[in-house]
């Protein structure tokens, strides 16, 4: 092991309780470690609306929240109405797709959102015993696996013209939540058993409302944090509207920051940071800047650890994967998949594809990503060229990220939840 690797050891943590969740589960946004990567058997390479469909279950409304898999159940969010007054979490049997229960939270006020981001844009998180779902202004809710409410929290209103989309993360005995966008943005930890606030850190921001800065440019944050071990210390790492921040999961202390996310169109963060091999890469929203940095250290690391900064990037909403020294990431506009060198920020290759809001996921040598038309591209990660394996159509729009578990892939479209397997 190299000296560098010893000094900056990055081990992404499984965000589930080991005693209660299978290692092949997909218990939260972007999988067991929040990095889009899992182990085990790969799902089929090819399918369509009838081939290799084990089951499909109808959903009442479109939404961008992604499915998760935990302890024999599949969870996904959906509103019951077009105005987001009834926001629900659905639980299905993973074997046959039977709906086991639905839990609905009522919220009387109609909050703004965008037609491309319907209500219930957050992905739940589970540990095999309880499941946590964030309904933004309608609250943070913890349920047991029978659908009984354990606790709920009203965290205030989150108002933005583009809606909401960040997802909770279960870490050991607590729930980590990046709360935004809106006039207030904060990262907090809540006790998993009681919902009590353990710590809470506000990120100061400027603006005349929750959606705009004083100059009229946009602001907001939709990033789901990741938890990683850096130099032997667990860290909650999140891309905020103007910078990347790392927090101590025990008490919320800010460990380090790195500037560079503020862009010409505003202060925006959509995708989760990507890290591996001692390097972190984070991309701002709305064609915002991208930065790469060395991990390790405390305080403001902008000058000492930042390796590069690209002022402008293709529109990126979903997150990529960091594999064998390269990053593969989806772009919402102009609709491409690109291979990025994380050490330099240089684009190695670009492949034209459909417009993608979902994130790339990886298992057993294959990457999967679903575009807005409901087509899932399967490709092999290769820094030399794009190596496509299949394009699979379901014929329904989708803005979500697939979940992979035990040789099956679960895809949420605007109309259904699909289980694909052989």
Query: What digits encode the pLDDT tens for the residues 86-111?
Result: 999 999 999 999 999 999 999 999 99
Residue 144: both structure tokens together: 């047991």
Contact yes or no for 160/209 (Cβ under 8 A): no
Mean pLDDT on 191-199:
99
Looking at the 3D structure of the chain, how many domains does it have? 1
The reported pLDDT for the residue numbered 315 is 83
Residue for token pair 């491309």: 116
For the beta carbon of residue 264, count every other beta carbon within 10 angstroms. 12
End-to-end CA distance of the chain: give it in Å, rounded: 40
Distances (CA, A) of 404 to 20, 69, 164, 177, 271: 18, 8, 24, 23, 20
**Distance between CA atoms of residues 257 and 148, nearest Å:** 39
pLDDT of 196 strictly over 60: yes
In sequence order, which residues have a C-beta less than 8 Å from that of residue 297 and are 6 or more positions away? 256, 304, 305
Q: Tell me whether strands 336-340 and 347-352 are parallel, antiparallel or unpaired.
A: antiparallel
Phi, psi of 123 (to 5 degrees): -100, 135
Using CA atoms of 73, 77, 80, 84 in order, give the dihedral in degrees to the nearest 10.
Answer: 160
Over its C-alpha atoms, the chain yields an Rg (Å, rounded) of 20
* Eight-state DSSP code of residue 287: S
Among the listed residues 143, 139, 148, the one whose alpha carbon sits nearest the alpha carbon of residue 127: 143
Residue 103: both structure tokens together: 């839990």
The reported pLDDT for the residue numbered 206 is 65
For 252-270, how does the pLDDT look when each residue is reduced to its tens digit (9 = 90+)? 999 999 999 998 888 899 9
The reported pLDDT for the residue numbered 208 is 63
For 31-59, how does the pLDDT look when each residue is reduced to its tens digit (9 = 90+)? 999 999 999 999 999 999 999 999 999 99
pTM of the predicted model, to two decimals?
0.93
Residue with the larger pLDDT of the pair 21 and 296: 296
The reported pLDDT for the residue numbered 15 is 39
Contact yes or no for 22/71 (Cβ under 8 A): yes
**Distance between CA atoms of residues 175 and 405, nearest Å:** 23
Percent of all residues in the chain with a pLDDT value above 70, rounded to a whole number? 94
In this structure, of 14-23, 53-62, 226-235, 297-306, the range with the lowest mean pLDDT score is: 14-23
Contact yes or no for 75/111 (Cβ under 8 A): no
For 205-224, how does the pLDDT look when each residue is reduced to its tens digit (9 = 90+)? 766 677 888 788 888 889 99
Contact yes or no for 195/184 (Cβ under 8 A): no
For 376-390, how does the pLDDT look when each residue is reduced to its tens digit (9 = 90+)? 999 999 999 999 999
Produce one character per residue of 156-188: b if its CB has 16 or more CB atoms within 10 Å, e if not: eebbbebbbbbbbbbbbebbbbbbbbbbebbbb
Contact yes or no for 277/325 (Cβ under 8 A): yes
* Eight-state DSSP code of residue 315: B
* CATH classification at residue 109: 2.130.10.10
**Distance between CA atoms of residues 169 and 225, nearest Å:** 7
Q: Range of 298's domain?
A: 3-420
């Amino acid at each position: 092991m190299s000296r560098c690797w010893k000094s900056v050891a990055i081990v992404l943590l499984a965000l589930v309780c080991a005693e209660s969740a299978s290692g092949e589960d997909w218990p939260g946004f972007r999988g067991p470690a929040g990095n889009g990567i899992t182990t085990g058997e790969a799902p089929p390479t090819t399918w369509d609306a009838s081939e290799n469909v084990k089951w499909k279950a109808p959903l009442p409304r479109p939404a961008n929240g992604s499915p998760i898999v935990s302890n024999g159940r599949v969870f996904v969010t959906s509103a019951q109405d077009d105005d987001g007054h009834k926001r629900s979490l659905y639980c299905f049997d993973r074997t046959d797709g039977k709906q086991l229960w639905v839990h609905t939270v009522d919220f009387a006020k109609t909050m703004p959102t965008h037609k491309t981001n319907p209500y219930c844009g957050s992905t739940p998180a589970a540990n095999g015993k309880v499941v946590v779902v964030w309904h933004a202004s309608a609250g943070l809710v913890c349920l047991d696996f029978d659908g009984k409410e354990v606790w709920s929290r009203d965290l205030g209103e989150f108002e933005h013209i583009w809606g909401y989309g960040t997802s909770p993360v279960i870490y050991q005995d607590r729930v980590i939540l990046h709360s935004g966008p809106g006039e207030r943005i904060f990262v907090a930890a809540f006790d998993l058993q009681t919902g009590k606030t353990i710590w809470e850190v506000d990120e100061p921001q400027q603006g005349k409302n929750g959606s705009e800065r004083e100059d009229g440019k946009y602001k907001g944050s939709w990033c789901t944090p990741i938890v990683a071990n850096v130099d032997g210390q667990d860290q909650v790492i999140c891309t905020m509207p103007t910078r990347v921040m790392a927090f101590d999961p025990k008490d919320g202390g800010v460990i380090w920051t790195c500037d560079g996310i503020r862009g010409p169109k505003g202060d925006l963060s959509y995708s989760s940071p990507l890290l591996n091999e001692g390097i972190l890469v984070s991309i701002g929203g709305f064609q915002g800047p991208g930065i790469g940095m060395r991990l390790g250290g405390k305080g403001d690391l902008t000058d000492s650890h930042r390796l590069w900064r690209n002022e402008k990037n293709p529109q990126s909403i979903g997150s990529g994967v960091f594999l064998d020294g390269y990053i593969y990431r989806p772009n919402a506009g102009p609709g491409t998949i690109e291979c990025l060198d994380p050490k330099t920020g240089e684009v190695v290759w670009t492949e034209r594809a459909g417009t993608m809001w979902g994130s790339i996921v990886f298992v057993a040598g294959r990457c999967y990503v679903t575009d807005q038309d409901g087509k899932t591209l399967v490709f092999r990660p290769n820094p030399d060229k794009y190596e496509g394996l299949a394009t699979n159509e379901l014929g329904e729009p989708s803005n979500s990220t697939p979940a992979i578990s035990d040789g099956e892939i679960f895809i949420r479209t605007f109309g259904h939840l699909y289980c694909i397997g052989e």
